[in-house]
Amino acid sequence: MSGYAKGGMTDAQMITLAVAILAVFGGTLFNNSRIGDMGKRFDDVNKHIGDKFALLSLQMKHMEDNIMRIVGDHESRIQGLEGKAKPS
C-alpha cells in the first residue's frame, strides 16, 4: 500500500496494465483485419450472384428459343390444316 500513498504504481500493477492495454490493441487490430476480409467476401458474393444471373439469363434465352421453335412449328401445322380444309 505504500505505492498508493505516494501516488505511484508498483511494478506488478504497471505490468498488469500494460498487458491489458496490449490485449485491447491486439484485439482491435485482429478485428480490423477481419473487417478488411469482409470486403473480399462481399466481392465474392457479388461475383457469385452475377454468375447465377448470367446462367439464369442463358437458360431463359434457351427456353425462349425452344418456345419460339414450337410456336413456329404449330403455326406451320395450322396453316397446313387450314389449306387442306379450304375447297379448291
Name the residue ranges covered by the structural domains of the chain: 2-85
Task: Give percent of the chain above pLDDT 90.
Answer: 57
Q: Confidence class of residue 15 from pLDDT cuts 50, 70 and 90?
A: very high
Q: Give residue 50's pLDDT band: very low, low, confident or very high (50, 70, 90).
A: very high
- pTM for this prediction: 0.49
Cα distance from N-terminal residue to C-terminal residue, the chain: 123
Contacts of residue 3, defined as CB under 8 A and 6 or more positions apart, other chains included, come to: 9, 10, 13
Phi, psi torsion values for 14, nearest 5 degrees: -65, -40
Torsion of CA 68, 74, 78, 81, to 10 degrees: 150
CA dihedral (20, 23, 25, 28) positive or negative: negative
